[in-house]
């Protein structure tokens, strides 16, 4: 606990960019939930732009709007 799943359009992140992203998210989560770094897991899941509406927007954003704490502006 906790597990973070980041869905995104495919992007060619360098190892340094990925490491920075994971470190920053881990820092924010460990601070907010007062957990040890070892308790955090993070998944990066590329989703093709043409599939975003079907695979992410409808089921996860619209379908779980009651859970959203930050809404997209699109």
Q: How many domains does one find in the chain?
A: 1
Question: Has residue 72 been placed in a domain?
Answer: no
| pLDDT in the model for residue 68 | 97
Helix (H, G, I), strand (E, B) or coil at 62: helix
Q: Specify the pLDDT at position 18.
A: 98
Please, which pLDDT band fits residue 41 given cuts at 50, 70 and 90?
very high
What share of the chain has pLDDT > 90, as a percent?
100
Query: What is the reported pTM?
Result: 0.91
Residue 20 lies in a domain: yes
26: domain range?
3-67
User: Which is the catalytic residue, given 2, 48, 59, 72?
Assistant: 2
Q: Is residue 74 part of a domain?
A: no
SS3 state of residue 48: coil
Residue 73 lies in a domain: no
Residues in the chain, overall count: 74
Assign residue 45 the CATH number of its domain. Answer: 3.30.429.10
Q: Tell me if residue 2 is catalytic.
A: yes
């Amino acid at each position: 606990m906790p597990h973070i799943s980041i869905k995104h359009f495919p992007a060619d992140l360098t190892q340094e960019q990925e490491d920075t992203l994971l470190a920053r998210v881990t820092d924010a989560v460990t601070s907010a939930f007062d957990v040890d770094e070892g308790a955090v897991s993070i998944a990066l899941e590329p989703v093709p732009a043409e599939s975003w509406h079907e695979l992410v927007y409808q089921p996860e954003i619209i379908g779980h709007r009651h859970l959203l704490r930050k809404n997209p502006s699109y």
